[in-house]
Amino acid sequence: MRAISRLVFETVGLRYTYPDGTLALEDLSVGVPAGGRVALLGPNGAGKTTLCLLLIGILRPTAGRVRFQGEDLRYNRQGLAGLRRRVGLVFQDPEVQIFAPTVWEEVAFGPANQGLNREAVAERVEAALAATDLLELRDKATHFLSYGQKKRLCLAGVLAAAPEVLLLDEPTAGLDPEQARRVMSILDELSRAGRTLVLATHDVDLAYAWAETVFVLSGGSLAGAGKPGEVFCNGALLRAASLRPPLVFTLYEALRGRGFVPSDAPVPRSPEGLLGLLPGSSSKFEVK
Ligand SMILES: Nc1ncnc2c1ncn2[C@@H]1O[C@H](COP(=O)(O)OP(=O)(O)OP(=O)(O)O)[C@@H](O)[C@H]1O
Ligand SMILES: [Mg+2]
């Protein structure tokens, strides 16, 4: 009988050493809950991308294990194909991901590969291009796209394949604020629809506002884990991982210290939430 697990992904004592001898991950044991919004947070070189590549089976552990839905990953062709039907990765570097000559063909690859008919593929592609604001560029050569457009194209490709689990490696890096906001609202929608999301980022503000669970990586090890409210009030943990506290959190603490906001109010997770705490503010307090 299959093991039933509420964890979609689980790593057990995971270790990865690159061929040049770099130890990128060491003894990492983390669990990704089904339907959760998980942030992998850490500074440059912490091992976030390496972990994403291990979760989707592009890299194979040097030691330890990756489990998906309660079973060890199988690294044969069939095992990996099955995994990648259910899990999609938006690569940090779009150049690694994009291979098709045009925007449309790039996004159509996933659904076409799933054996959908032409109309169903076209429907998926249109929806993914509309969501990522790329419809007007549908016939454009992918190598002429700007960096931000390439990043959004990578997300569109994964959206069109409609996996249950999305691994997103710095999905908003290089995007302008409006496009970054748009991407985060796509992720909110996916989350509401019950998809499991794992987002790798060095952006503490983003992780604080968005995640339900945060894994802090530092030097290839797990430096800390928990809900954003727990992780981000742990100054020692943040310092050890070379991270700063989120701006909203710092401002809240400063305003509370000066008596401008009530000391018993829940800690806000967004600028709107913080503004709502100020005296005379009419905006409704909101915790995401
Ligand atoms: N192909 C590779 N060969 C050798 N070392 C590598 C390779 N890729 C990554 N590394 C090393 O592994 C470590 C972890 O890198 P990784 O890319 O996973 O970090 P990251 O947390 O994603 O960083 P960033 O925030 O810069 O994206 C780093 O020390 C890096 O230099
Ligand atoms: Mg990375």
Residues 17-40 pLDDT 10s: 999 999 999 999 999 999 999 999
Q: Are 207 and 214 in contact (CB under 8 A)?
A: yes
- 58 in the same domain as 146: yes
**Has residue 75 been placed in a domain?**
yes
Q: Are residues 255 and 219 in the same domain?
A: no
pTM (global) more than 0.85: yes
Q: Which residues lie across from 216 on neighbouring strands?
A: 41, 224
Domain that holds residue 258: 246-288
Residues 84 and 27 in one domain: yes
| 178 shares its domain with 269 | no
Q: Do residues 119 and 144 both lie within one domain?
A: yes
**Residue 47 CA: which ligand is closest?**
1
Q: CB atoms < 10 A from the CB of 38, how many?
A: 24
Residue 212 lies in a domain: yes
Q: Are residues 220 and 126 in the same domain?
A: yes
How many angstroms does the Cα of residue 52 sit away from the middle of ligand 2?
Answer: 9
225 & 178 share domain? yes
Backbone Cα Rg of the chain: 20
Q: How many domains does the chain have?
A: 2
Residue 42, ligand 1, Cβ within 6 A:
yes
Q: Ligand 1: does its nearest atom lie under 6 Å from the Cβ of 18?
A: yes
Residues 254 and 189 in one domain: no
Contact call for residues 169 and 50 (beta carbons, < 8 A)? no
Beta carbon of 46 within 6 Å of any ligand 1 atom: yes
**pLDDT tens across 131-166, in order?**
999 999 999 999 999 999 999 999 999 999 999 999
Would 54 be classed as within a structural domain?
yes
What is the arrangement of strands in the sheet containing 221-226, beginning at the earlier edge strand? 87-90, 165-169, 196-201, 37-41, 213-218, 221-226
For ligand 1, mutation pick of 20, 48, 51, 221 (most atoms within 8 Å of CB): 48
- Kindly state if the Cβ of 45 falls inside 6 Å of ligand 1: yes
Q: What is the 8-class DSSP label of residue 46? A: S
Q: Residue 98: pLDDT above 80?
A: yes
The alpha carbon of 191 is separated from its chain's Cα centroid by a whole number of angstroms, namely 11
Q: Whose CA is nearest to atom 31 of ligand 1?
A: 45
Site to substitute for ligand 1 among 44, 52, 89, 201, most atoms within 8 A of C-beta: 44
- Would you say residue 2 lies in a domain? no
The answer to whether residues 33 and 116 belong to one domain is yes
Q: How confident is the model at residue 278 (pLDDT cuts 50, 70, 90)?
A: confident
Same domain, 258 and 141: no
Confirm whether 1 is domain-assigned: no
The confidence score (pLDDT) of residue 286 equals 45
